[in-house]
Amino acid sequence: MLFFRMIACLSALCFTATAFGWNAVGHRLVAQIAYDHLTPQTKLTLEKYNHALDKTFSSTTLINAAPWLDGLRYMNELWLQPMHYINMPFTRDGSEIIPPSPINAITAIHDNSKTLSDPHSSLYNRGFSLRILIHVVGDLHQPMHAVTEYSARFPQGDLGGNRLRLGKNSVAENLHRYWDNGAGILLIKKRYKIKLLQQKAKRIEVKWPCEDSVSMEPEQWAQESHQLAVSTAYQLTYGQKPSQAYQKEARLIVEQRLALAGCRLATLLNQLVDHS
């Protein structure tokens, strides 16, 4: 089964382009927000799983492990690539659409949740799945990771906005990367030290507190991101420069999605550890 999944993933790469999700700061913020809402027992258990990877990869904290999955692109772990997104299609000009790959961010969350909670899984496999979950839950809350537009310009899809070039601006050259960079709020010239990251996370948590009734279905998370992409992100057309109004709205959405990702990740991890 794993072999065939790997083959499916490699095949999917023929139709995709690099899509990084939130940048490193964004992923670490999601992880920090989640960490703030983990139970003491969950923290201890997850630290054990995380450090089971120390002999294979560099030792790191749960927070700094959040961008780890992006780094594996440079280690030929291409079979993991389709786990970062789900290309839910839409068209505005009636172009033919292509269904998303059966291997995607939603299936990645379901599959790795099972591994993490399986008492028969090795510590290493649980650690690997933990790092995937920390990253992919964040990715699925980035609107451009749940969408691809099919059009006369892009009959094979715009790859989540990666092919949609923007007019000159200070954030990014294409629509996907613009949202990866949080419409500018996640662009940091120097590395975010942990204290600064914690302060930023707290400000987001105060503004967007976790709610007990929050949806825990990855399919719903993807639908939310897709709808935001179609209704808001794609207000920009090819070659258009983001306006101040667009940037303001995008930044508000980014903060809310980071907060939701962190809250939902914490709830998921607490549940998985409790049932393992």
pLDDT for 193 equals 83
**In this model, does residue 128 exceed pLDDT 60?**
yes
> Beta-strand (E) ranges in the chain?
89-90, 148-149
* Mean pLDDT, range 187-206, rounded to an integer: 87
- How much is the pLDDT for 22? 82
Q: For residue 110, give the nearest of 89, 87, 133 by alpha carbon.
A: 133
Instruction: Tell me what the pLDDT averaged over the chain comes to.
Output: 90
> What span, in angstroms and rounded, lies between the C-alpha atoms of 219 and 199?
31
Residue-wise pLDDT tens digits, 10-63: 333 333 344 456 889 999 999 999 999 999 999 999 999 999 999 999 899 999
Q: State residue 232's pLDDT score.
A: 98
Give SS3 for 251.
helix
- Mean pLDDT on 166-192: 92
Give dist(CA 212, CA 192) in Å, integer: 30
- For residue 120, pLDDT beyond 70: yes
Residues 6 or more apart in contact with residue 207 via CB below 8 angstroms: 255, 259
The whole-angstrom separation of Cα 91 and Cα 207 is 34
Of the two residues 3 and 198, the one the predictor is more confident about is 198
pTM above 0.75, yes or no: yes
Q: How far apart are the first and last CA of the chain?
A: 23
Task: Tell me the three state secondary structure of residue 174.
Answer: strand
Tokens of 184: 């500018």
What's the CA gap between 54 and 58, in Å, rounded? 6
Contact 155, 96 (CB under 8 A): yes
Query: pLDDT tens for residues 57-85?
Result: 989 999 999 999 998 865 555 668 889 99
At 57 the three-state DSSP class reads coil
Report the Cα 158 to chain-centroid distance in Å: 18
As a whole number of angstroms, the longest Cα–Cα distance in the chain is: 53
Fold of 25-274: P1 Nuclease (1.10.575)
pLDDT greater than 90 at residue 6: no
